[in-house]
Structure 1
Amino acid sequence: MKFPTIDERTPFYFRQTGKPLGKWELDHRLSIIRPAIEEAMEYGNVYRIDSTCLEITDESQARMQNVGMLWIICSFATIFMLLGTVFFASAPFREAAEVMARKGNWAGVILGATVGIMGTGFFGLLTFDPMRRNMFTLKRRPIRLNRKTRRIYAIRTKEPGGIWEVPWSEDEFFCVGHRRMGGLSRAYDMYDIRHYQLDGDGNVVRAFVLGQFTLTLEAAYAQWEYYRRYMQDGPSKLPEPYRFWAPRETFWEGYKICRGGKFSGAFWALSDFIFFPFALLDAFARWLVLATCSDPVWPPEIEAACKPTPYDPYARPYADDYIGVPSGPDAKPSREDLKRMWEQEPRRRREGALIRAEAEALLHQDSIGA
């Protein structure tokens, strides 16, 4: 069995390594010069944005709880199948051979032990692979788009060579990726933004995904256009990020991420009550994965190159921005969100962050001066 490399949390394109790109990728190649679509949209992938650097999440960050849940379920299934194997395999030691033969138990022992061994191996592999790629690695795999150095930096693993550097160039191969997902009732399409590193023969060496999966091709183009316009034109004309991710996530911030996909609509209060145990279980699974991992560490030279300019009016999150929930006029922060914002505001101010009102005043002065 061929396993994906540990830099891939979502193993859907590792089978392309060493092979040429398909017709879809070639037909949907993206240009850093030509707009892909009129609208630019951000879907909640951002850690921070300023005039120097845009830092976004790895595509799997919002779904870490799924990995944890898979690991928990498969671990219990592996243990159950292993105990079943031991139970059947130990039957000849619990009863005499004559008794086994008289009762006709040998067929059941052989069948039960065989099924147990196969089940243990199957669920063991399902337990091992997500653990290998997600647990005891990195809490997050951030990607930085740097306008000044014209580079994309991506942390993939904590091993030497785990930080990839990609020039922002028309010669690099960016494209919209596509894959068919199997649902309970029918299959559906998902799209993403990929970068492929190719060798001299046009075969895939490695790849990674920018941003998150989308359900429509237009949404993928809009997401790419947000990144493209940032690198080409800067942050001045981009829409506000939908939300900002916390670099260090608490258990309850993880719970809110898990809760967000379950409760919506007019009956949110009833849904909150009904699905609370499931969201809490998801949050525990997410915490379990993240608790085994360490924080990513950028090399000093990349940190220096991506350091924001103090009092940059385009630097977000602002000192009075909320983390983990949508900000701006339509924000609906909880009491905990407000408390965290008040606690973090003094530190953000010392680091050179402006509050929203100060930033808007500076931008207004610049527009008048222009």
Structure 2
Amino acid sequence: MDERVFLYKVGQPIPEWDLQHRLPINKPVGPECKDTGTIFQINSTYMDVTDQPHGSRQWQAGGVLIAVVGVVMGFWMEYETRFIFPDAGDLLGDLFCLGVILIFGYAAFRFGRDEFFALKRRPIRFNREQKKIFAIRRRRFFAKQGEGDVTWDVPWNEKSIFCIHKGSGNNQNCYHIRCYDVDDNGNVVRAFSIGREWVGSANLEGVLSQWNYWCWYMNQGPADLPKPPLFFSENESVRESFLFCMYDFGTRASPVFRMIMMPFILLMTSFRLLALWTCRAPVWPNAVKTVSNIAADDAFNQPRGTTPVGWGETALAQQRHDYPFDPKKEISSWIGEQDGAANASLWAKDIPPKI
């Protein structure tokens, strides 16, 4: 479920489940380290990753477009009752049409303002030299020179609270990693979600491996990190949008299932493309650009050269054995449950293991 639908509650404490599942920044939370498909680019200075809604923005875009249709239908019903069938119009009918317009209009504005005529992506930058995370949150329409888009920053230290957040959807629990900024009383000031969403308790293993990956980068650098399974394109093509929507129904779905679902996949692709085509690329503030310089000879600057970018190119490179499939690394310092799935099952409980 898109994190923007059910927002965090400003002024209230962090949800108890989230706080129980707080993630440490200075020690591993599982036996392996790997990225699970979150990265735009990586180098010795910073790593740009996705926000949680990035991979499934077609769902919110579709909901917003349905809300817009609802507004149009509300106006059309009012027009019909007033001008085409004036004898059918009365105060109750007017109020009904007004209610339809207001409800759908509110939904279209609330959920559409960050989806249409906004940003093509909202990258989250792990800057290891500054020991900070910079997160672009919203388009700034009337920015001053060098101001860039609305950007939050949080320190990479114990004052920032990173948690596994649990929601529900499709009759299963869904999880993502969330950063909370709190006041002196422990109440939430702001929050944002990093990376992607994992559905089902069994996939908590991926959550923990992903957190280990980001922590390894921030604490030890990129030298010994396994490669990401793919790099997402910062300039998404029509093919990439289609593959996002197709893989949303399962990366290992059968060809028959995909053929059956193809009309719906194409519909969702059109929603994603309409949203992207109305948006522009994000602009980092000059203050962030200044601390994000990449050395010309940075050996860890990726993607570059023959490194594939995006779902399609990466799949072809893996078929040619030019790019690894599901690269990962065991963490030798891990002293907890050695089986990743068993460790994840412990974290799925309301009170996770102490580490």
Instruction: Place the TM-score, normalised by the shorter chain, in its bin.
Output: 0.7 to 0.9
Q: Which residues of structure 2 form unaligned runs of 5+?
A: 141-146, 324-355
- Take 2:307 and 2:177, find their aligned partners in 1: how far apart are those partners? 28
Q: How does 1:255-294 map to 2 (within 5 A)?
A: 255-262=242-249, 265=252, 267-268=254-255, 270-294=256-280
| Corresponding residue of 1:35 | 28
Structure with the larger helix share: 1
CA distance in 2, matches of 1:81, 1:261: 32
Q: Distance in 2 between matches of 1:315 and 1:145?
A: 14
SS in 2 for 1:257: helix
Q: Secondary structure at the match of 2:178?
A: strand
Relative contact order, CA 8 A, sep 6+: which one is greater? 2
CA distance in structure 2 between the aligned counterparts of 1:121 and 1:49, rounded to whole angstroms = 45
For 2:73, what is the secondary structure of its paired residue?
A: helix
Which 10-residue stretch deviates more, 45-54 or 20-29?
A: 20-29
Counterpart residue number, 2:326: none
Q: By how many angstroms is 1:319 displaced?
A: 0.9
Distance change >3 Å, CA 200–CA 178, structure 1 → 2? same
Partner of 1:338: none
AA at the equivalent of 2:232: W
Give the equivalent residue in structure 2 for 1:220. Answer: 207
Map of 2:74 onto structure 1? 81
Instruction: Map 1:165-184 to 2 at 5 A.
Output: 165-181=153-169, 183=170
Write the distance in 1 (CA, Å) between the matches of 2:4 and 2:123: 15
Matched residue SS, 1:177? strand
Structure 1 position 31, deviation (Å): 1.2
Task: Give secondary structure in 2 for the equivalent of 1:319.
Answer: coil
Deviation sequence 1:208-227 (CA, Å, 0-9, x none): 11111112333222211111
Q: Which moved more, 1:129-138 or 1:195-204?
A: 129-138
1:230 is matched with: 217
State how far apart, in whole Å, the 2-side matches of 1:190 and 1:265 are: 19
Structure 2 residue identity aligned to 1:243 = L
Q: Does 1:117 align with 2:98?
A: yes
Aligned counterpart in structure 1 of residue 133 of structure 2, from 120, 130, 152 = 152
Change (3 A) 1:52 1:278: same
Work out the CA distance in 2 between the residues paired with 1:199 and 1:331: 47
Distance 1:259 1:26, change over 3 A: closer
CA distance 1:77–1:13, change in 2 (3 Å): closer
Q: 1:175 to 1:273 in 2, by over 3 A?
A: closer
Structure exhibiting the larger radius of gyration computed from Cα positions: 1
Distance in 1 between residues matched to 2:12 and 2:307, nearest whole Å:
45
CA distance in 1, matches of 2:32, 2:309: 25
Q: Matches of 2:102 and 2:180 in 1, distance apart?
A: 34
| Pairing partner for 1:295 from 259, 278, 281 | 281
Distance 1:300 1:176, change over 3 A: same
C-alpha distance in 2 between matches for 1:328 and 1:313: 24
Q: TM-score, normalised by structure 2?
A: 0.78
1:54 and 2:47 correspond? yes
Whole-Å Cα distance in 2 between the matches of residues 64 and 266 of structure 1?
Answer: 20
Farther-moved stretch of structure 1 (188-197 vs 303-312)? 303-312
Residues 92, 247 of structure 1: alpha-carbon distance in 2 compared, 3 angstrom cutoff: closer
* 1:302 to 1:88, Cα distance in 2 relative to 1, 3 A: same
Query: Which position in structure 1 is the counterpart of 2:307?
Result: 321
Count how many residue pairs are aligned between Structure 1 and Structure 2.
310
| 2:150 counterpart letter in structure 1 | G
Report the CA distance between 1:198 and its aligned residue: 0.8
Aligned partner of 2:241: which letter? G
Matching residue of 1:22: 15
* C-alpha deviation, 1:201, in angstroms: 1.3
From the superposition, tell whether residues 329 and 74 of structure 1 become closer, same or farther in structure 2 (CA, over 3 Å).
closer
Tell me, in whole angstroms, the C-alpha distance in 1 between the residues paired with 2:189 and 2:223: 35
Give percent identity, aligned residues only: 30
Say whether 1:244 aligns with 2:231.
yes
Q: Give me the CA root mean square deviation.
A: 2.7
Using a 3 Å threshold, how does the CA distance of structure 1 residues 68 and 171 change in structure 2: closer, same or farther?
Answer: closer
Determine if the alignment matches structure 1 residue 69 to structure 2 residue 50.
no
2:174 corresponds to: 190
1:171-212, CA deviations, whole angstroms, 9 ceiling, x for partnerless residues?
22111111122x3xxx22111111111111111110111111
Q: TM-score, normalised by structure 1?
A: 0.75
The separation in 1 between residues aligned to 2:214 and 2:250, in whole angstroms, is 30
AA aligned opposite 2:233: A
For structure 1, list consecutive stretches of 5 or more residues without a partner in the other structure: 1-7, 96-104, 334-354, 357-370
- Distance, in Å, in 1 between the alignment partners of 2:187 and 2:79 is 47
Alpha-carbon contact 1:78-1:120 (below 8 Å) kept: yes
